[in-house]
Structure 1
Amino acid sequence: MIPWLDNLNPEFPPVEHALKEPDGLLCAGGNLSVDTLASAYRQGIFPWFSDDQPILWWSPDPRMILTPETLRISKSMRKLLRQQRNGERFRLTANQSFAEVIQACAEIRKKHEGTWITEDMQSAYIDLYKAGYAHSIEVWSDDSLVGGLYGVAMGRVFFGESMFSRESNTSKLALIVLLQTALFDVVDCQVHTHHLESLGAQLVSRKSFIERIQPLLTSTSAGALTTDSLCSKIL
């Protein structure tokens, strides 16, 4: 049995208590308030559940992370970045259409694999966005949203939640440009995928992950993720 959190005052158990199977399942219940979600991320915990499940909280071991040092950019993506520098391809913005990005991510997931980005999750992350924790990157073709990602930023850590593409390589473009802003030392990718591995993401132990992010969460050197900071750093 896993612990059940109090709905009004949830207190997370130590992440070391998470199950090995399914990997990282820590507890259930609680709520999706801004304070609860912020507390969870600071402890290396995130919510992940379907419509027919209670709120489930996870802290997998190992954890997949991506850093500016390990980022791999393919030849095709380098070509796309050159075109971006020359203003020939897409338009990138930050925090301009958060609700539209999270809705697009939910639609893509539902179509291909079933979505964990439920209506409750969307509402919760929109509240996080309004509170200044959650952020989105949008990729536009003319006035059409064709790709992007969203996640939670704390200090110099970006906890990636989901991304989507309606045109080839647009989610990759958003992620690469996010790393190139030099605003974040670690992007938490949560769990392994071959797609993220191809970009240079690596698995680290949960212990190493949490030890690594703790001093970064309160870093005062972190700047703001804005459209200007996003577009000025395209290499």
Structure 2
Amino acid sequence: MTLSPELLLHGYSIGIFPMAEHRNDPEVFWVEPTRRGVFPLDGFHISRSLARRLLRNDYTVTCDRDFAGVLNGCADRAETWINPEIRDSYLALHRRGNAHSIEVWQEGDLVGGVYGVVLGAAFFGESMFSRRRDMSKIALAYLVDRLRQTGFRLFDTQFLTSHLASLGAVEISRAEYRRQLEQAISKRADFLAEIDQSPQDVMQRMTQTS
């Protein structure tokens, strides 16, 4: 199966997404969880320790500066579902403007990030990574803030993990997910809109609703 950008976007539009068993498996299969993980955009939870970490301001956050680097960081683990075909397919999606990344930097090094797919006003989170403590949490906080500010209606996390649940993600039924998906992809949002995301502003906006 060739994962063209058109096929990928069609899959997301009907609630499915591709995976491989491991990085060396050439086969790709489609997944549609019975229960779906989502991040309510007004429900991101910032713990006291994460709040302190955000305000240390010893990092820089960028958007789409190194999509390939984030993708590679997510695949750089003992077990990964990102095989070469999936990697190439998401790079193609990024080139056509349907996949984006948030990067976290320290002293010039890429230390964390998250990437996903955009369709209408829906953001489909694919994966995240962290090379230093809390860097993926910082990436998620900035991502949620960006989605809220630029008109998004749905942040899909595919599955609910204990880590995501601790940050405010919840699980919904397949039927409810399809309802939210249909509404979100019929709207418009601008992921790359120019917005102010200083640590203080992100903290203030997030703590007003979390």
SS at match of 2:76: helix
| 1:77 corresponds to which of 33, 44, 50 | 50
How many pairs were matched up?
A: 196
Provide runs of 4+ in structure 1 moved above 4 Å: none
How far did 1:199 drift? 0.7
The answer as to whether partners of 1:31 and 1:55 remain within 8 angstroms in 2 is: no
Q: Distance in 1 between matches of 2:192 and 2:55?
A: 22
Q: Partner of 2:11 in structure 1? A: 40
The residue type paired with residue 224 of structure 1 is F
Q: Distance in 2 between matches of 1:53 and 1:192?
A: 26
Percent identity between the two aligned chains: 37
SS at match of 2:202: coil
Counterpart check, 1:31 vs 2:2: yes
How far did 1:224 drift? 2.8
TM-score of the superposition, structure 2-length normalised?
0.88
How far did 1:230 drift? 6.6
Counterpart check, 1:57 vs 2:25: no
| 1:130 corresponds to which of 92, 95, 106 | 95
Matches within 5 A, 1:178-217: 178-181=143-146, 182=148, 183=150, 184-217=152-185
Counterpart check, 1:105 vs 2:74: yes
Report which stretch shifted further, 195-204 or 53-62: 53-62
| 1:169 corresponds to which of 131, 134, 138 | 134
Task: Report which of the two structures shows the higher radius of gyration computed on alpha carbons.
Answer: 1
Q: Distance in 2 between matches of 1:58 and 1:224?
A: 25
Q: Distance in 2 between matches of 1:128 and 1:230?
A: 26
Q: Partner of 1:90 in structure 2? A: 59
The answer as to whether partners of 1:93 and 1:230 remain within 8 angstroms in 2 is: no
| 1:225 corresponds to which of 192, 195, 206 | 192
Deviations 1:19-38 (A, max 9, x none): xxxxxxxxxxx321000000
How far did 1:223 drift? 2.1
How far did 1:185 drift? 2.6
How far did 1:53 drift? 5.5
The answer as to whether partners of 1:62 and 1:205 remain within 8 angstroms in 2 is: yes
Higher relative contact order, chain-length normalized (CA < 8 Å, sep 6+): 2
Q: CA RMSD of the aligned region, Å?
A: 1.5
Describe the shift of the 1:54–1:158 C-alpha distance in structure 2 as closer, same or farther (beyond 3 A).
same
How far did 1:78 drift? 1.2
Residue ranges of structure 2 left out of the alignment (5+ in a row): 204-210
Q: Distance in 1 between matches of 2:50 and 2:96?
A: 33
Describe the shift of the 1:140–1:171 C-alpha distance in structure 2 as closer, same or farther (beyond 3 A).
same
SS at match of 2:195: helix
The answer as to whether partners of 1:94 and 1:230 remain within 8 angstroms in 2 is: no
Q: Distance in 1 between matches of 2:48 and 2:154?
A: 23
How far did 1:231 drift? 2.3
How far did 1:120 drift? 1.2
